[in-house]
Structure 1
Amino acid sequence: MEESASAQIEFRKVTKMYGSVAAVTDFSLAVGRGEFLTILGPSGSGKTTALMMLAGFEAPTKGDILISGMSVAAVPSYGRDQGIVFQNYALFPHLTVRRNLEFPLEMRGVKASERVALVERMLKRVHLGAFGERMPSQLSGGQQQRVALARALIADPPVLLLDEPLGALDRNLREQMQGEIKSLHREFGKTTICVTHDQEEALTLSDRIVVMRGGQIEQLDTPEALYGRPANRFVANFLGEANILDDPELGYHKKDRPGTVPMIRPERVRIAAGNAVQPADQDQRQIVSGIVEEMIYAGPLRKYQVRVGRTSLIVREHVASGQEIFKPGDTVRLDWFRADVRSLSE
């Protein structure tokens, strides 16, 4: 999305320096009204710094940040109309759940009678209607996360900021809360910026994803486009698993496309016994022989690591009844459609 009057949030050539170190460099981004955008990247990529500048906890060294067309670079955090959910939830430990939800309404001068109705409605919406008088310490991690989301949304801010919102939860709770966050986003329609290092979380929740490295944007696109058409080797490896096919034994010759490498996702590679009948469409496929190094069973998926020449390839297939299972040391045949291979920048 290009910068325009329709963008609710804009970063315009923002740089943030800590002494002589640049945490974010020349960062430009436009987020549309009602969009769910995730900033994804490894530790030190600048993603949290970008969010903290948007939240008003850090000031840009250069550049500008706009919300609804108005510059907020010099506006303190309490002067920005936005809800924030932190990784550690930041609930007030000495206040009940009900009082935690009332607090932002009090700060905005909402009448007591209206506060009661709003809190009751929000507690029911996040499935905590019977928990209003409990203290945060009496809640599970998932319940605390629901309270944090409810508190961020109850005053109806136009912008919602999520800082590693599910990082403190176990896998099952994370998956449940991903569904809850998606549901709340559909219902409330808030422009949402989420920062995470969790690729699955980003793919599940987002309308678009920003992948950052070294304080700069590597790629910005929809989850489907980022996964299926990564711009370079870093994005391919960071957003899921990737097989880099830069080996003549895999059909790659560097002189054909200088400055690029071919990549295929593990689920696009088929595995069969070494003596299996050749596929009928073999003229459209790259076919190689290899030795199984490892087999990992992961419930609905089975993952193989196969040595082909000097390259180790990953194969991921869904478990099915009657499926042939290979063990380390087995000779196997791998094949993939040449059309599924993506050419990446180095």
Structure 2
Amino acid sequence: MYGAVTAVRDLSLTVGRGEFVTILGPSGSGKTTALMLLAGFVAPTQGDVLIAGKSVAAVPSYRRDQGIVFQSYALFPHLTVRQNLEFPLEMRGMKAAERLPRVKRMLERVHLKDFGDRMPSQLSGGQQQRIALARALIADPPFLLLDEPLGALDRNLREQMQIEMKSLHQEFGITTICVTHDQEEALTLSDRIIVMRAGEIEQTGTPEALYDRPATSFVANFLGEANILQIPDPKAESTVESRSATVPMIRPERISISALTAKIGTDTEQRQHVTGRVKDMIYAGPSRKYHVRVGSGELIVREHCATGQTVFKPGEEVRLDWLRSDVRFVKI
């Protein structure tokens, strides 16, 4: 709690050895507070924090054997890259003769073997991120905590670092807990995602399960885009035991768009067809996104760009269709 505000409540979380778990949520959802509790920067007002079955709730952060990477990297500006990597080893009492070979191997592993004598200010953002990861991993901690680790990088660097982080995790096999609000980052890196909302866990599952079978409209809209259907279709499949207090949802990429004159396939029993009028078309390189007015509502359609494809302009009437089996029912 922060004064009268409860930042996190009823948080029960178990992370397996070697697992990469991402805590995902919007600002104010409690994800950062959850990480601070795990790191020892914040003490829980109730409950406990266990590592390998032992309580560490009263153990200060500097006495916990853990690796931490912050969004700001937190490299020591007055130390060289090599000295930054030596620091956690020196704090653990390792002699210089043992430290230097390990630092050399780690610099080679993050593809910065010739940067040991540089100062952090002489590195790019991506290079600083690699050094921050290397420093967190070099002492072989039992687990690694990542706080918005790629938030300060541009899109291309983020994608490169996602690949590098995934590779490092597979190589070291270290238990990792990452906090982010970036859905793509969570889907790319995680073995399991925990979606938080208003200080509580909304849903937990694999990236595939959460994206394809969200339990609530909040999860459906936070992990990608979601169309809430206002068109009743009793033949659509439900993924929940009861449809009471649920609404039908479909992902934009599961909807096909075609001209009204296009031939309708033979699988009409398996598909739902509606007509609408294009409100807007957004070109995004590999894909196009259409906003289509259907009745009093609006549906988003996303299709992969291909050669010879018909491009629909605002004002054109179109037919939309989707497999009934692609509809999911989510709680409001």
The answer to whether the aligner puts 1:328 opposite 2:305 as a matched pair is no
Q: Which residue of 2 aligns with 1:139?
A: 123
Specify the code of the residue in structure 1 equivalent to 2:143.
Answer: V
From 234, 241, 251, give the equivalent of 1:265: 251
Q: Which residue of 2 aligns with 1:47?
A: 31
TM-score (structure 1 length as normaliser): 0.93
Specify the code of the residue in structure 1 equivalent to 2:290.
Answer: Y
Q: Distance in 1 between matches of 2:303 and 2:231?
A: 23
CA positional deviation for 1:249: 9.1
Deviations 1:194-228 (A, max 9, x none): 00000000000000000000000000000000000
Specify the code of the residue in structure 2 equivalent to 1:237.
Answer: N
The answer to whether the aligner puts 1:31 opposite 2:15 as a matched pair is yes
> Which structure shows the bigger proportion of residues in strand conformation?
1
Specify the code of the residue in structure 1 equivalent to 2:84.
Answer: N
Q: In the TM superposition, what are the counterparts of 1:52-131 in structure 2 within 5 Å?
A: 52-131=36-115
Q: Distance in 1 between matches of 2:20 and 2:233?
A: 42
Q: Does the CA-based 8 Å contact 1:251-1:286 persist in structure 2? A: no
Q: Distance in 2 between matches of 1:251 and 1:306?
A: 23
Deviations 1:173-193 (A, max 9, x none): 000000000000000000000
Q: Does the CA-based 8 Å contact 1:250-1:288 persist in structure 2? A: no
For the aligned residues, what is the CA RMSD? 1.3
Q: Distance in 1 between matches of 2:128 and 2:276?
A: 50
Q: Which residue of 1 aligns with 2:299?
A: 313
Give 3-state SS (helix, strand or coil) of 2:47's partner: strand
Moved more, 239-248 or 305-314: 239-248
Deviations 1:283-332 (A, max 9, x none): 21110000011111111111111110111111111111111110101100
Extract structure 1 runs of 4+ deviating beyond 2 A. Answer: 246-252
The answer to whether the aligner puts 1:155 opposite 2:139 as a matched pair is yes
The answer to whether the aligner puts 1:198 opposite 2:182 as a matched pair is yes
Moved more, 318-327 or 273-282: 273-282
Alignment identity in percent?
75
Q: Which residue of 2 aligns with 1:168?
A: 152
Q: Distance in 1 between matches of 2:20 and 2:88?
A: 23
Q: Which residue of 1 aligns with 2:260?
A: 274
Q: In the TM superposition, what are the counterparts of 1:179-190 in structure 2 within 5 Å?
A: 179-190=163-174
Q: Distance in 1 between matches of 2:285 and 2:269?
A: 34
Give 3-state SS (helix, strand or coil) of 1:143's partner: helix
Specify the code of the residue in structure 2 equivalent to 1:295.
Answer: M
Specify the code of the residue in structure 1 equivalent to 2:307.
Answer: S
Q: Which residue of 1 aligns with 2:210?
A: 226
CA positional deviation for 1:246: 2.8
Structure 2 gap segments, 5+ residues each? 237-241
Q: Does the CA-based 8 Å contact 2:71-2:152 persist in structure 1? A: yes
Q: Distance in 1 between matches of 2:324 and 2:206?
A: 24
Tell me the number of residue pairs that the alignment of Structure 1 and Structure 2 aligns: 327
Q: Which residue of 1 aligns with 2:239?
A: none
Q: Does the CA-based 8 Å contact 2:235-2:324 persist in structure 1? A: no
Q: Does the CA-based 8 Å contact 1:211-1:218 persist in structure 2? A: yes
CA positional deviation for 1:247: 4.0
Specify the code of the residue in structure 1 equivalent to 2:77.
Answer: P
TM-score (structure 2 length as normaliser): 0.97
Give 3-state SS (helix, strand or coil) of 2:10's partner: strand
Q: Distance in 2 between matches of 1:274 and 1:101?
A: 63
Q: Which residue of 2 aligns with 1:338?
A: 324
Structure 1 gap segments, 5+ residues each? 1-16
From 271, 274, 283, give the equivalent of 1:288: 274
CA positional deviation for 1:248: 4.5
Deviations 1:30-60 (A, max 9, x none): 0000000000000000000000010000000
Give 3-state SS (helix, strand or coil) of 2:121's partner: helix
Deviations 1:247-296 (A, max 9, x none): 459999xxx93311000001110000012111211121110000011111
Give 3-state SS (helix, strand or coil) of 2:135's partner: helix
